[in-house]
Amino acid sequence: MTENAKIRHILARLSLAIVFIGIGIWEVIQPSYWAMYVPPFVSSIIATDTFLMFHGSALIIIGTAVLLGIYLRFTSALAALTMLSIILSVTYYLGFSDIVLRDIAIFVIAVALFFDDSDYARAARFRGKRRS
């Protein structure tokens, strides 16, 4: 693997992790800021603040796993699915906007990590597995 491929891989992981961890912490600390993005059907099932605490915690876990390279293919797929659900929800309830465009870019980073077959990516994927 070339040095440039390693750098691209690290930058993609770092970018995705920063967004997921940062937004996750923000959702946990200040759920009122994010309440308008929670779909009405979700808030009819569970209190918005409670949902955002769980959602923010999940984002932190996913972002940390991506950052550390733990089960990278799985966590990048989970990140992509999370972003896809956010894109669909925000577009449906609030309309297409600059926020949706930003989220599409984050989705693409997660998909790129999922399909990264470089030696460096494979090494990161296996870090989470125990050796017997």
pLDDT by residue for the chain (132 residues), tens only, comes to: 578 888 999 999 999 999 999 999 999 999 999 999 999 999 999 999 999 999 999 999 999 999 999 999 999 999 999 999 999 999 999 999 999 999 999 999 999 999 997 666 666 555 555 544
For 75, counting Cβ atoms within 10 Å of its Cβ (0-12 exposed, 13-18 middle, 19+ buried), the class is buried
**Residue 66 near residue 20, CB atoms below 8 Å:** yes
**Residue 37 near residue 66, CB atoms below 8 Å:** no
In sequence order, what are the residues at sequence separation of 6 or more whose Cβ sits closer than 8 angstroms to the Cβ of residue 50?
none
Q: pTM for this structure?
A: 0.87
How many angstroms separate the Cα of 1 from the Cα of each of 13, 16, 84, 122, 123? 17, 22, 30, 11, 12
